[in-house]
Amino acid sequence: MDFDPSPTQRALLDALGTLLSRSAGTDRSRELAERGAYDHVLEAVLRRDGFLDLFASEDAGPLEATLAVELIAAELGAVTPVPHLLVLPALGLEQPAGPVVASLDGPAGPVRYGAEATQLLLADGDRCVVAELDPAAAEPVPSAYGYPLARVVPAWHRELAAGTAGTLVNWWRVGASAEAVGMMRRALDLTVAYTKDRTVFRRSLGSFQALQHRLAELSVLVEGARWLVYEAAFNGAPAEASAVAAAHTMTALGRLTRETHQIMGAIGLTTEHDLHLWTLRLQAQRAELGGGQGPRRAAADARWAAAS
Amino acid sequence: MDFGFTREEESFRDEVLGFLDGYRDLDGYFHRGADTADGVRRVYRALGDRGWLSLSWPVEFGGGGRSPAYEFILWDEMAYARVARPPMGPGLVAKALMSHGTGEQRDRFLADLRRGRTGFCLGYSEPDAGSDLAAVRTKARRDGDEYVVDGAKCWTSNAHWSDHIWLLCRTGAPDSRSRGLSVLIVPLSTPGVTVSPIPTLDGGRLNEVRFDGARVPAANRVGPENEGWQVVGSALAVERHVQFPPKRLRRDLHDLLDDLEAAGVHRDPVVRRRLQDLAVRVAEVEALALALLGEVISGEPAAVPAAYHKLAGTVLAQDIARTGMELGTARALVKGTDTEFLWRQSILETIGGGTSEVLRGLIARQEFGLRA
Ligand SMILES: Cc1cc2nc3c(=O)[nH]c(=O)nc-3n(C[C@H](O)[C@H](O)[C@H](O)COP(=O)(O)OP(=O)(O)OC[C@H]3O[C@@H](n4cnc5c(N)ncnc54)[C@H](O)[C@@H]3O)c2cc1C
């Protein structure tokens, strides 16, 4: 066992970090969100530099791809890293240009970047369906939760081999959880930094033990989520591990959101402050996985079905 | 002990419900939608015309001399209907003027406040003084029979449609903390006062109010110079029973139920279990609200019961909204649904009007005598 990033992983994340510091981040994210736009430029750069190929590459793999997904989300990259870096390669499919969306549970509700999406992955029983989308037919849906949403209209579709739905759902759970982990960590870091800078009652806000304990508890949650996600990715997204990672992460993000906003005070409740760029998107991620309940049920099903 | 409202109080509730029928389309409680300020102003005027903004004011000040229970019923039903929140002016400001104001100030303000013709906002918080209000820096320098005010307030609710700001400012030395503060009434039309918006996550706005050499008559100071802390402290106490009307929560829960029914998940046993928990907690908060009201009626300061009530109530508002977001699918993200709006709105409630941490500290100190 070795929980430290390898030199390869470290180099990869450094390179990706550098790329994202130029092509993503809060300002870029605000500007794109204003227009409800997907970041085609970022996607092209990620593709050019090989980050979309990590999953199946020789010197990297699914875990590295998952680490990359986490970092892209933390830096608010306005792309769809979960399908591009994890799900499509896991299914052995080509990665089209532009956003790819999914519906894990019945007909597609509003999905992120749906207005520009060209492909929909749909889990239907144990079948997986790939549908082409007509962006012109998509119906944008207003949302306050960071991502531009739209209902999509599938044009024609093809079915993949039986049993592939599990691959879609499991990797999507791992990927969305990796995104959430990256975003939770960023929200927490921002809050911790704020408590060091802010003075109340002639002391730093972070010097109050009541807050120290709460911040510490949040770090436990995020770390737990992080290792569950990495482990699931490392093991190839088995059903139970993926569901457990998602169940824990989707529960953790509720508490993390509440606490970071609370500890930040009024400033964090304004749209001028950056905290909401992560926390609102976190709620959207949970909704995308069918709320906190979906993964919890799946985790229990996977466990008890396996035991029987 | 007597848990019920009197027959007169219940028939007042019926009158309130009748009144509300004319205003149910107005979402002035949350100021959702455009131009709600005008609508709320109209409601306040109509209430003023009926004497309902001064229900519990003493008769000598033109009030109804009635029990605070009437105010509670009024604002509780207003909250359920989502029509409006209690205005600061006829509540906190008027009651503070009755105990700390001069005869001239009462003559100048009380009649308009009672009639709902003038609006006040509260200028306490600053960028570097929130929980720690004694750190207020906005300075008022005496110059003849005026004060010259410089500084900035922030998070000021409703400043953009108020007439006056009830301003806590420093008249003592910079490090005088709570001993060097005074309260001034400043017309927002005063030259040198500017109000600008601070957009919040619920889609609404708070405000920054800047003072650049604004001249305010010394006759607008409420209470003695440097004794503003006492004025602010006692002013806080008089409005506790209407600050967070519990029926807001009952309505939140009803709206959540409607939403889950529309999503077709309301019969799911897990969903039902969550709803049962929330329903029990709504009843808990209602009980705490009545206990608080009882204290206010008997003339107690009620700081601790008010803290219990606000702590339990505001976190419940969040939990109701969160339940909706957690149980809902991506549908829950569509802007404009009650669920998603209440999620963004309720997140403000545990900060505005006294943070949960400040309230917990107050309980620990006042109820248990614990000290840092
Ligand atoms: C919706 C809304 C409406 C408002 N309306 C008004 C208004 O009309 N007029 C006005 O003057 N102000 C208003 N405010 C401001 C409000 O009063 C302040 O936001 C509040 O007092 C907290 O101050 P702060 O935001 O500066 O947080 P800070 O004081 O910086 O505190 C940050 C966090 O740390 C916690 N904290 C602080 N000290 C301690 C401690 N010793 N131990 C543990 N935790 C601690 C706080 O509870 C908070 O959670 C409003 C705020 C909101 C959100």
* Domains in chain A, number: 3
Residues B53 and B135 in one domain: no
Nearest to B342 by CA among B26, B41, B29: B29
Tokens representing A83? 């399908």
Gap from B100 CA to chain A (nearest CA, Å): 28
Determine the structural domain holding residue B77 and report its residue range. 7-86
What percentage of chain A carries pLDDT values higher than 90?
A: 86
pLDDT at B23: 95
CB A256 within 8 A of CB A190: no
Is the pLDDT assigned to residue B217 strictly greater than 60?
yes
Residues A197 and A155 in one domain: no
pLDDT at A288: 87
Is the pLDDT assigned to residue B265 strictly greater than 70?
yes
Is the pLDDT assigned to residue A308 strictly greater than 60?
no
Confidence of residue B300 (pLDDT cuts 50, 70, 90): confident
Nearest to B16 by CA among B62, B75, B57, B68: B75
The one-letter amino acid at A306? A
Residue B231 lies in a domain: no
Confidence of residue B33 (pLDDT cuts 50, 70, 90): confident
B164-170 and B146-153 strand pairing: unpaired
pLDDT at A306: 64
Residue A259 CB neighbour total at 10 angstroms: 19
pLDDT at B2: 77
Residue A266 CA, ligand 1 centroid: distance in Å: 6
Tokens representing A78? 């306005």
Residues A170 and A299 in one domain: yes
Contact A293 B270 (CB under 8 A): yes
Q: Is A235 in the pocket of ligand 1 (CB under 6 A)?
A: no
Assign residue A202 the CATH number of its domain. Answer: 1.20.140.10
Residue among B120, B131, B133, B371 to mutate when testing ligand 1 (max atoms within 8 A of CB): B131
Select the residue of A144, A266, A287 nearest B203 (Cβ to Cβ). Answer: A144
Tokens representing A16? 């990706």
> Measured between alpha carbons, how far is B194 from B211 in angstroms, rounded to an integer?
7
* Domains in chain B, number: 3
Residue B103 lies in a domain: no
Residues B55 and B125 in one domain: no
CB A290 within 8 A of CB A173: no
The last residue of one of the domains, among A42, A75, A96, is A96
**What part of A 227-256 touches B (C-beta under 8 Å)?**
254
Q: Find how far residue B255's CA is from the centre of its chain.
A: 22
Gap from A289 CA to chain B (nearest CA, Å): 8
Residues A195 and A271 in one domain: yes
Q: Which residue has the tokens 């989502």?
A: B82
Residues A76 and A90 in one domain: yes
Residues A88 and A104 in one domain: no
Residues B139 and B54 in one domain: no
Q: Is B122 in the pocket of ligand 1 (CB under 6 A)?
A: yes
Q: Which residue has the tokens 């990715």?
A: A233
The last residue of one of the domains, among A96, A120, A148, is A96
A133 sits in which H/E element:
strand A127-133
Residue B354 CA, ligand 1 centroid: distance in Å: 6
At B350, phi and psi to the nearest 5?
-85, 5
Task: List the catalytic residues of B.
Answer: 239
Residues A213 and A83 in one domain: no
Residues A290 and A205 in one domain: yes
Question: At B180, is the secondary structure helix, strand, or coil?
Answer: helix
Q: Does A212 touch chain B (CB under 8 A)?
A: no
CB B357 within 8 A of CB B131: yes
Q: Is A291 in the pocket of ligand 1 (CB under 6 A)?
A: no
Residue A118 DSSP code: -
Residues B129 and B183 in one domain: yes
Residues A183 and A264 in one domain: yes
> Measured between alpha carbons, how far is A104 from A166 in angstroms, rounded to an integer?
10
The nearest alpha carbon in chain B to A103 belongs to: B330
Is the pLDDT assigned to residue B157 strictly greater than 70?
yes
Select the residue of A211, A272, A284 nearest B333 (Cβ to Cβ). Answer: A284
Residues B209 and B139 in one domain: yes
Is the pLDDT assigned to residue B222 strictly greater than 60?
yes
> Measured between alpha carbons, how far is A253 from A222 in angstroms, rounded to an integer?
8
CB B95 within 8 A of CB B113: no
Determine the structural domain holding residue A149 and report its residue range. 99-161
In chain B, residues with a C-beta closer than 8 Å to the C-beta of A278 are none
Gap from B51 CA to chain A (nearest CA, Å): 35
> Measured between alpha carbons, how far is B256 from B246 in angstroms, rounded to an integer?
16
The CA-to-CA distance between both ends of chain B, in Å, stands at 36
The last residue of one of the domains, among A142, A161, A180, is A161
Residues A299 and A177 in one domain: yes
Question: Which among A103, A262, A301 is the top mutation candidate for probing chain B, defined by the most B β-carbons within 10 Å of its own β-carbon?
Answer: A262
Residues A56 and A11 in one domain: yes
ipTM score: 0.96
Residue B273 lies in a domain: yes
> Measured between alpha carbons, how far is B321 from B266 in angstroms, rounded to an integer?
15
Contact B326 A288 (CB under 8 A): no
pLDDT at A305: 79
Residue A167 CA, ligand 1 centroid: distance in Å: 47
Assign residue B326 the CATH number of its domain. Answer: 1.20.140.10
Assign residue A26 the CATH number of its domain. Answer: 1.10.540.10
> Measured between alpha carbons, how far is A28 from B326 in angstroms, rounded to an integer?
29
> Measured between alpha carbons, how far is A82 from A226 in angstroms, rounded to an integer?
16
Residues A148 and A184 in one domain: no
Residues B209 and B271 in one domain: no
Confidence of residue A307 (pLDDT cuts 50, 70, 90): low
pLDDT at B175: 96
pLDDT digits (tens, 9 = 90+) for A93-125: 999 999 999 998 766 689 999 999 999 999 988
Residues A191 and A257 in one domain: yes
Residues B356 and B265 in one domain: yes
A152 sits in which H/E element:
none
Contact A287 B330 (CB under 8 A): yes
Nearest to B164 by CA among B185, B195, B194: B185
Select the residue of A142, A258, A283 nearest B336 (Cβ to Cβ). Answer: A142
Q: Is B352 in the pocket of ligand 1 (CB under 6 A)?
A: yes
B250 sits in which H/E element:
helix B247-262
Say what angle helices B356-368 and A209-234 make with each other, to 10 degrees: 130
pTM for the structure as a whole = 0.97
Nearest to A80 by CA among A195, A175, A177: A175
pLDDT digits (tens, 9 = 90+) for B307-361: 999 999 999 999 999 999 888 766 788 998 888 999 999 999 999 999 999 999 9
Question: At B79, is the secondary structure helix, strand, or coil?
Answer: helix
pLDDT at B1: 67
Question: Which among B136, B201, B327 is the top mutation candidate for probing chain A, defined by the most A β-carbons within 10 Å of its own β-carbon?
Answer: B201
The CA-to-CA distance between both ends of chain A, in Å, stands at 30
Gap from B109 CA to chain A (nearest CA, Å): 31
The one-letter amino acid at B37? A
Mean pLDDT over each residue of chain A, to the nearest integer: 95
Picking from B57-71, B174-188, B220-234, B261-275, which range would have the lowest pLDDT averaged per residue? B261-275
In chain A, residues with a C-beta closer than 8 Å to the C-beta of B318 are 258
CB B324 within 8 A of CB B256: yes
pLDDT at B237: 77
CB B309 within 8 A of CB B327: no
Tokens representing A224? 């737990």
Q: Average the pLDDT over A73-95 and give the result.
A: 97
Q: Average the pLDDT over B294-299 and give the result.
A: 93
> Measured between alpha carbons, how far is B194 from B208 in angstroms, rounded to an integer?
8
Nearest to B100 by CA among B168, B171, B183: B183
